[in-house]
């Protein structure tokens, strides 16, 4: 019984934790402009993140080493530092985007200018990182994030033309109002949003935080394999809501306030309340995860003591670096830059940096020195190599597409 | 001296022909017993003709997965060899010189040695 | 590797080529404003029917004012060199100004406690703006 | 695999064999309590003079210390910190080399830990709750 409860909890947090500001914004933008014609990308992305999150979790459980220790050890100091630079920069961008997302959600609830909410958001994030236990932090944010299920409920209440939606999803075509380059630009962005590297840093470091051993692998695997696809389904329902209400009205999403309109149309104020709580929890949870990931990557590269399971004084540089990251994030937001814009860039840059994270993970997962007999099985390797090709293609195509489309505008 | 100064340095044979670069340094733990581990002495240098970077550990272990990644990385280090300490004439700031009659050995690690 | 790079280069040249011509900028500004006005109408409608809280509606309308204003700025920054393009720019600015006024009125209607301005008036203004945008985009498309 | 034909394996040795890049460099260093101290950024070798011919039969140089600190920067960007600025973890303090390098001493006694101690004492310990145990 207790085991079943643990399993349910793990799955639920994985669902709630899957969606962050990047998924919210990118899926709504895509739904409002391309309908469901890019759903296949979410599918590809979800399978990819399941594959690699599972792999990094297995490395962490079998060897006790988190992803960035492995990256430095395998790539060496120079390539490792270049990797750290890129990953850290993108992470910082994502922290900024998530902090902005919290503030925007609070503005939706209160109509008070989001800039005034930013200090509140950052202090709350810091206090949780400073004081709250890892497991509690994960579970509360994940469970409240489940409120986003209201997107799926609203979709049903909107009584859409299901055949038409299915047609868009199953026979993808570029809508007449959009260009082919724009379509592929958003395909890369969606892929980046689903596979953001911080999820792997966080997942593997979390495995060390919670002291996973090989025995816990089964549960970890089911959390990922059930939770992430359901999270992906949430992503799709966000896109579908936008496709049903906003696309026909000629609305192209540029702000978070537009993302919630279909939910209000479908389910009224109650649904709106749920969606705001859900967005708040999802962005808050992701802000915690990305801030911690910034600390994890730095500490693991330089070999500092890290972890929320230690007292802050026993992981001093780790905590200091996270404080500095939050300060930088607030500084960026204080310039008045649009958090939604930061989000859109962060997911594309994530796509560019994907190979840097996933290649070393794949290599180490094959090394018996680390893994004992838990090395990758052959089918996993075949799938992983296919994904490596997809990841490389997305990474290489991202910048040219960004230039051609003027970042999707 | 610092190992970082040696890694990547060009290697020349007794006649001054360039053989490659120093890819790694091999140590053997068989010195005087210390409190915890015995002393480690320099056993030799691994020389790679094509790439100085030690590539992700594929060159000296039996690792063959995932294909084709393992094959590509292994190919980058084709022709690498180990020279023992007594075959080294000088380790200079810019070059490593080998003695005239040095012997090339297989750089593969002995089975069940090193690692964890 | 070379394929995407070449594509990227071609894209740069294309963008540089369009830089001086305001046609592209005007069309995009009109399209973006159309999206903003549609959002405003949707938000206003949902708020009137009690499905959207006034806080969320005000926020959405505020975001849309920002969007149209930034479109207006890009149009203002154009430096047209022919009488026709000068005319197109002026016409676009007039329509965009109308959009801003309409959305601001909608925001006032949402925020007001005494029913003035009325939501129906705001809706009429927004509908008019939407019509103007349609006309303008047809004209720009033809020209 | 080898274009010049297979090479013979090197003569057998009595002790464990470690390749510096493969087993030592860039590995995490843990202290006796399992607390991370640093990463092995470089290695110091004793008994070897750069540019001085090695007489035949000279004893092999020995590995005296793992290095950390500014040496990471110079390893990546070139140059060389003065010997006095090298932060050493003596080989005699190393207890085991596996997928991590384990030390037989506690981090608190090591020079390699001074930045951590400084940040702890000057900043983190002064923020309320810094000593709170999260578990």
At C15, is the pLDDT very low, low, confident or very high (cuts 50, 70, 90)?
very low
In a domain, B78, yes or no: yes
Flag whether pLDDT at A381 surpasses 70.
yes
What does pTM read for this prediction?
0.90
C117/C107 Cα distance (integer angstroms):
10
Looking at every residue in chain A, the average pLDDT score rounds to 90
In a domain, C45, yes or no: yes
Range with lowest mean pLDDT among A261-270, A286-295, B32-41: B32-41
Pairing between strand B88-91 and B96-98?
antiparallel
Structure tokens at A276: 């705001």
In a domain, B24, yes or no: yes
Pairing between strand B96-98 and B10-12?
parallel
B15/C120 Cα distance (integer angstroms):
95
For residue D25, give Cα distances in angstroms to A69, C58, D10: 12, 58, 23
Chain A residues 129-168 with CB within 8 Å of chain B? none
Facing A133 at nearest CB: one of D41, D124, D135: D135
Residue C102's domain comprises 20-142
In a domain, B63, yes or no: yes
Q: Are the C-beta atoms of residues A358 and A387 closer than 8 Å to each other?
A: yes
Range with lowest mean pLDDT among C38-47, C56-65, C86-95: C86-95
SS3 call for A91: helix
Q: Domains along chain D?
A: 20-48+60-126 (2.30.30.240)
Angle of CA points C92, C97, C101, to nearest 5°: 150
Q: Are the C-beta atoms of residues D107 and D37 closer than 8 Å to each other?
A: yes
At C82, is the pLDDT very low, low, confident or very high (cuts 50, 70, 90)?
confident
Share of chain A above pLDDT 70, in %: 99
Helix (H) or strand (E) holding B56: none
Other CB atoms within 10 A of residue D64 CB: 17
Alpha helices (H) in A19-149, listed in sequence order: 21-34, 39-63, 67-110, 114-131, 134-145
B12/C122 Cα distance (integer angstroms):
84
At A103, is the pLDDT very low, low, confident or very high (cuts 50, 70, 90)?
very high
Range with lowest mean pLDDT among A115-129, B72-86, C2-16: C2-16
In a domain, B110, yes or no: no
pLDDT of residue A92: 95
For residue C55, give Cα distances in angstroms to A276, C61, C111: 12, 10, 9
At A74, is the pLDDT very low, low, confident or very high (cuts 50, 70, 90)?
confident
Flag whether pLDDT at A386 surpasses 50.
yes
Residue whose C-alpha is closest to residue A262's, from A154, A395, A370: A154
At C18, is the pLDDT very low, low, confident or very high (cuts 50, 70, 90)?
very low
pLDDT tens digits, residue range A307-357? 988 999 999 999 999 999 999 999 999 999 999 999 989 999 999 999 988
Q: Which chains border A (3 or more CB–CB pairs < 8 Å)?
A: B, C, D
pLDDT of residue C12: 43
In a domain, C3, yes or no: no
In CATH, A2-405 is 1.20.1740.10: yes
The CA distance from D129 to the nearest CA of chain B, in Å, is 38
D38/D40 Cα distance (integer angstroms):
7
Inter-chain touch B37–D45, beta carbons under 8 Å: no
Average pLDDT over residues C116-139: 92
In a domain, C4, yes or no: no
Flag whether pLDDT at D82 surpasses 90.
no
Average pLDDT over residues C4-19: 43
Q: What is the 3-state secondary structure (H, E, C) of chain C?
A: CHHHHHHHHHHHHHHHHHCCCHHHHHHHHHHHHHHHHHHHHHHHHHHHCCCCCHHHHHHHHHHHHHHHHHHHHHHHCCCCCCHHHHHHHHHHHHHHHHHHHHHHHHHHHHHCCCCCCCHHHHHHHHHHHHHHHHHHHHHHHHC
At D4, is the pLDDT very low, low, confident or very high (cuts 50, 70, 90)?
low
pLDDT of residue B59: 63
Chain A residues 83-122 with CB within 8 Å of chain B? none
At C113, is the pLDDT very low, low, confident or very high (cuts 50, 70, 90)?
confident
B36/A34 Cα distance (integer angstroms):
65
Place of tokens 């709504």: A28
Does A377 reach chain B within 8 Å, measured CB to CB?
no
Instruction: Count structural domains, chain C.
Output: 1
Inter-chain touch A257–C12, beta carbons under 8 Å: no
In a domain, B89, yes or no: yes
ipTM score assigned to the predicted complex: 0.84
Flag whether pLDDT at C8 surpasses 50.
no
Residue B46's domain comprises 3-98
Average pLDDT over residues A71-85: 88
Does A98 reach chain D within 8 Å, measured CB to CB?
no
In a domain, B7, yes or no: yes
For residue A239, give Cα distances in angstroms to A38, A105, A185, A262, C99: 9, 18, 16, 10, 27
């Amino acid at each position: 019984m207790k085991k079943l409860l643990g399993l349910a909890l793990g799955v639920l947090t994985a669902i709630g934790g899957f969606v962050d500001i990047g998924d919210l914004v990118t899926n709504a933008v895509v739904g409002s402009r391309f309908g469901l014609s890019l759903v296949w990308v979410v599918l590809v992305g979800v399978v990819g993140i399941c594959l690699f999150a599972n792999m990094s979790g297995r490395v962490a459980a079998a060897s006790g080493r988190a992803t960035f220790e492995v990256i430095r050890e395998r790539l060496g100091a120079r390539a490792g530092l270049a990797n750290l630079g890129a990953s850290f920069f993108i992470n910082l961008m994502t922290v900024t985007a998530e902090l902005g997302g919290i503030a925007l959600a609070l503005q939706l609830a209160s109509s008070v200018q989001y800039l005034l909410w930013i200090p509140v958001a950052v202090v709350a994030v810091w206090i949780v990182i400073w004081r709250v236990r890892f497991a509690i932090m994960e579970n509360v944010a994940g469970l409240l994030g489940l409120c986003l299920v209201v997107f799926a409920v609203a979709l049903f209440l909107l009584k859409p033309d299901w055949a038409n939606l299915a047609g868009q999803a199953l026979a993808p075509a570029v809508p007449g109002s959009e260009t082919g380059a724009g379509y592929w630009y958003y395909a890369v962005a969606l892929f980046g949003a689903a596979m953001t590297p911080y999820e792997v840093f966080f997942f593997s470091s979390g495995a060390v935080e919670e002291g996973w051993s090989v025995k816990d692998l089964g549960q970890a695997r089911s959390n990922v394999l059930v939770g992430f696809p359901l999270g992906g389904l949430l992503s799709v329902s966000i896109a579908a809501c936008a496709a049903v209400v906003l696309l026909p009205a000629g609305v192209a999403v540029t702000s978070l306030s537009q993302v919630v309109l279909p939910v209000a149309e479908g389910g009224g104020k109650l649904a709106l309340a749920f969606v705001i709580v859900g967005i708040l929890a999802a962005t808050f949870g992701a802000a915690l995860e990305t801030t911690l990931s910034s600390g994890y990557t730095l500490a693991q590269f330089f070999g500092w003591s890290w972890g929320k399971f230690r007292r802050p004084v026993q992981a001093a540089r780790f905590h200091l670096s996270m404080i500095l990251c939050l300060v930088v994030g607030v500084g960026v937001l204080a310039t008045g830059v649009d958090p939604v814009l930061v989000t859109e860039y962060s997911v594309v840059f994530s796509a560019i940096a994907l190979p840097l994270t996933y290649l070393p993970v794949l290599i180490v997962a094959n090394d018996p020195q680390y893994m004992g007999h838990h090395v990758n099985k052959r089918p996993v390797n075949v799938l992983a190599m296919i994904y490596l090709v997809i990841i490389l293609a997305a990474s290489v195509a991202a910048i040219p597409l960004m230039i051609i489309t003027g970042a999707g505008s | 001296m610092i190992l970082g100064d040696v890694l990547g340095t060009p290697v020349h044979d007794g006649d001054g022909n360039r053989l490659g670069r120093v890819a790694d340094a091999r140590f053997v733990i068989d010195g005087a017993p210390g409190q915890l581990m015995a002393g480690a002495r320099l056993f030799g240098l691994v020389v790679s003709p094509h790439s100085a970077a030690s590539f992700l550990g594929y060159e000296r272990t039996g690792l063959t997965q995932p294909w084709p990644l393992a094959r590509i990385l292994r190919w980058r280090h084709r022709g690498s060899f180990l020279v023992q300490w007594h075959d080294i004439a000088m380790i200079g700031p810019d070059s490593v010189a080998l003695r005239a009659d040095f012997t090339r050995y297989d750089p593969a690690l002995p089975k069940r040695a090193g690692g964890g | 590797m070379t394929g995407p790079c070449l594509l990227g280069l071609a894209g740069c040249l294309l963008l540089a080529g369009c830089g001086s011509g305001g046609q592209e900028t005007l069309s995009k500004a009109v399209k973006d404003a159309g999206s903003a006005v549609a959002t405003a109408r949707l938000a206003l409608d949902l708020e009137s029917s009690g499905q959207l809280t006034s806080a969320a509606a005000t926020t959405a309308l505020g975001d849309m004012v920002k969007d149209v204003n930034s479109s207006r700025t890009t149009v203002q920054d154009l430096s047209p060199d022919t009488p026709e393009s000068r005319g197109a720019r002026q016409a676009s600015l007039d329509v965009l100004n109308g959009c801003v006024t309409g959305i601001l009125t909608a925001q006032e209607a949402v925020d007001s406690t005494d029913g003035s301005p009325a939501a129906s008036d705001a809706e009429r203004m927004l509908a008019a703006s939407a019509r103007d945008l349609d006309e303008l985009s047809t004209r720009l498309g033809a020209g | 695999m080898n274009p010049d034909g297979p090479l013979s394996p090197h003569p057998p040795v009595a002790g464990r064999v470690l390749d510096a890049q493969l087993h030592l460099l860039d590995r995490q260093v843990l202290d006796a309590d399992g607390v991370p101290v640093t990463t092995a950024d470089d290695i110091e070798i004793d008994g070897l003079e750069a540019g001085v011919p090695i007489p035949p039969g000279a004893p092999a140089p020995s590995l005296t210390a793992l290095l950390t600190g500014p040496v990471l920067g110079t390893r990546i960007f070139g140059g060389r910190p003065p010997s006095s600025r090298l932060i050493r973890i003596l080989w005699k303090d190393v207890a085991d080399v596996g997928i991590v390098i384990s030390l037989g001493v506690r981090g608190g006694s090591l020079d390699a830990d001074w930045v951590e101690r400084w940040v702890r004492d000057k900043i983190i310990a002064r923020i309320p709750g810094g000593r709170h145990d999260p578990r």
